[in-house]
Amino acid sequence: MDDLDPGLAPPLHEAARQGLPLPVVERRLGERVDALWRGRTALWEAVMHRHFEVAELLAGAGADAWAPQIGGWSPGRLALAGPRPTLFGAPDSHLTTAEMTAIARARRRIAAVGDPEVEGMSIACVAHVDSAEAAGRMRALPVDIPNFAEWALDPWSEGMTDDEVAHTVGVTDVPGGCVVTQWAGFTAASPGLLARLTPGSSAYAMCVDPKGGCPGIAFHHGHLVGSDLSPGSGDSDPADTGSEVLRTFLYYGHPVAYCCDAVGLFPESQRAFNGPPTKLLRLPPMH
């Protein structure tokens, strides 16, 4: 049970999350160092957000690195899965074979996907559906854009109307399924579109707000299963499972790769997000 009010993050947790300078964190150590807020300690926040100097300071002040928290993970076990596995010295626990496999898979996926330029775009990662099937489910028709690279930078450059731009998407085949991309707006992450794409399947989609933030949405078998999600943010919900916590940690700062992992896609490059897509399509009205 939490020790602290579940409203705004307490100062020590917020300082650890943001990685504020060490003297600033030290001034907040008057709070009980292992107090829980939304199921986590300040040390958890420091480790999750890769602020390792802050984590060392908190551990030195008595924070317990090995106390299980969300999904059974402790800050110490999270550190074992990241770039500083010896952060807290000899481990009190070890990673499982399945967890080690997930870590290796995340490293390969992040190396392949990187951080593509997706500002102002929306993307949907769809499992077990290829581009041809996706086109049929969306009831979309092919559209020809000869100068795709220029058009992607300015989707109005070909004289399209706002409605035509909003209804033009790309679909790219990738191992595990396909990626639907829209270059100006939220169409690829719209509930109506995702409901059509996901009977017998799953999708994890996000918009990239030019003002900041990557709100996510998840569908399964044609139904909404999650909204107002935060892929790549490092924010774990107190009810998250162990595998969800590990995904949140491994893909911190990599929202596109997070979306891919959430439904088991493994793009081999950035093409699915930067183009050219396997298919360029014009959606019918009512999406």
Q: What is the pLDDT of residues 182-214, one digit of tens each?
A: 999 899 999 999 999 999 999 999 998 767 678
Do 31 and 128 fall into the same domain?
no
- Please indicate, yes or no, if residue 53 is contained in any of the structural domains: yes
Show which of 95, 123, 158 is a domain's final residue: 95
> Are residues 205 and 126 part of one domain?
yes
Mean pLDDT taken over the chain: 93
Say if residue 59 is in the same domain as residue 160. no
Are 115 and 256 in a shared domain?
A: yes
Cα dihedral 89, 93, 98, 104, rounded to 10, equals 0
| Domain count across the chain | 2
- What's the CATH number where 15 sits? 1.25.40.20
Q: What is this structure's pTM?
A: 0.93
Identify the domain containing residue 44 by its residue range.
11-95
**Is 17 within a domain?**
yes
Mean pLDDT across 24-39 = 89
Note the pLDDT of residue 131. Answer: 97
Phi, psi of 97, rounded to the nearest 5 degrees:
-60, -40
Query: Among the listed ranges 77-86, 175-184, 211-220, which one has the minimum average pLDDT value?
Result: 211-220
What digits encode the pLDDT tens for the residues 84-133?
A: 999 998 887 789 999 999 999 999 999 999 888 888 899 999 999 999 99
- β-pair type (177-182, 122-127): antiparallel
